[in-house]
Structure 1
């Protein structure tokens, strides 16, 4: 009889531990971030750096799901919506202008705008409290710029779309100019992809400020 109650006590102790541990790991209060975009988000290590920096702020439990794909356009962003919604993010970071505007592998401006609008509205329909940040990443020069003759128009229209949908928008190019003007060949050696260190120095402080202000204060 005594052994029965002893085993029962162990059972409830283990169950309590598992429930408590599960609540800690998968708490709805965790800050979950999803990134959608191109190689400018997939590469460069700034996403991991952002996760680390945010995790040190008030000991927040931060988890980032990086869905960015090298070579992706906003078509891929639309296809990833089910996976994104299943993750239940608090924040979505998104950038597609540089590949949508590619003359050879991109998509039309109207298709780009329709895709982004659909992504934003689908996320909002699932959870209207999600913070969505549409980003313009970095200057593009040389042949990488030549094959994107309408990139400026895509960027401008993406900005207008962000305003129309009342989401956050940030263009990192002025910050790149302030920090690295005259050194782009060193920090963006192929004309498109920044070095990891440079990308972290430009992007992470800005996104940390935006996300802390929106979600962690």
Structure 2
């Protein structure tokens, strides 16, 4: 084996090891909303995201659970588009704020991590910061939750080889900006319930997302749910 071939193999092995290390989910690092008043009247929830949000069943199930827990009407609005990343999300921030939400849930990390049509981690961080700031400027009392979502399988693991760092951006931003965080990524046991490697089966996804989301959102509305 020639020197160049050996160096290439060493480089490839090192790169794969780094990718594997960066893609380990660890344990969930949820961040609950800060305690808030109980309040009365309807709650408006806006979910801003990608095709994961557009096709999911969990937003409606979450709304039903929150309504039952709080004894208040909960309305859900989805602002979501297939193949959208956080650039699109930033362009839609004013539209989200105009819906006068009490709670905004945001997920773009999986799309941002796409090596073919995503954005670099630094831009992802700045876009999300700008989204949150734009919504808070119009709605100062809004509660905001960032959401890591699912792992990916098959060839999509190559397209999103550095998915882990994008999810870690969410963990960092939640602490930095005082937002809530649902860290669903570590909760997935694998990709068996993700048939195409990207989009989870809605029922499996709802079972993973709804209960912990209720638990961390409820304090912001003066309650304990789960």
TM-score range, shorter chain: 0.7 to 0.9
Please report how far the alpha carbon of residue 212 of structure 1 lies from its aligned counterpart in structure 2 after TM superposition: 2.0
8 A Cα contact 2:49 2:106, kept in partner:
yes
Q: Give the distance between the partners of 1:149 and 1:175, measured in 2 at CA.
A: 19
Query: Is 1:55 aligned to residue 67 of structure 2?
Result: yes
Please report how far the alpha carbon of residue 34 of structure 1 lies from its aligned counterpart in structure 2 after TM superposition: 0.5
Q: Give the distance between the partners of 1:58 and 1:34, measured in 2 at CA.
A: 18
2:102 corresponds, among 84, 90, 94, to 90
Offset from partner CA, 1:127-174 (integer Å, 9 cap, x none): 332111111011112211110122122122232122111111121122
Q: Give the distance between the partners of 1:149 and 1:200, measured in 2 at CA.
A: 25
Q: Which residue in 2 is equivalent to 1:196? A: 202
Distance change (3 Å), C-alpha of 1:104 and 1:94: same
Matches within 5 A, 1:37-186: 37-177=49-189, 181=190, 184-185=191-192
CA root-mean-square deviation: 1.8
Q: Give the distance between the partners of 1:176 and 1:70, measured in 2 at CA.
A: 22
Gaps of 5+ in 2: 1-39
- Indicate the structure (1 or 2) with the bigger Cα radius of gyration: 1
2:212 corresponds, among 206, 209, 215, to 206
Higher relative contact order (CA 8 A, sep 6+): 2
Q: Give the distance between the partners of 1:153 and 1:75, measured in 2 at CA.
A: 18
Please report how far the alpha carbon of residue 54 of structure 1 lies from its aligned counterpart in structure 2 after TM superposition: 2.0
Q: Runs (4+) of structure 1 moved beyond 6 Å?
A: none
Q: Which residue in 2 is equivalent to 1:7? A: none
Q: Give the distance between the partners of 1:43 and 1:103, measured in 2 at CA.
A: 23
Higher helix share: 1
Q: Which residue in 2 is equivalent to 1:9? A: none
Please report how far the alpha carbon of residue 207 of structure 1 lies from its aligned counterpart in structure 2 after TM superposition: 1.4
Gaps of 5+ in 1: 1-27
Offset from partner CA, 1:172-216 (integer Å, 9 cap, x none): 122223xxx5xx32x111111111110111111111222222115
Offset from partner CA, 1:101-139 (integer Å, 9 cap, x none): 111111122221111010111122223321111110111
TM-score by length of 2: 0.76
Q: Give the distance between the partners of 1:64 and 1:116, measured in 2 at CA.
A: 21
Please report how far the alpha carbon of residue 35 of structure 1 lies from its aligned counterpart in structure 2 after TM superposition: 0.5
8 A Cα contact 2:102 2:142, kept in partner:
yes
Query: How many residues are matched?
Result: 185
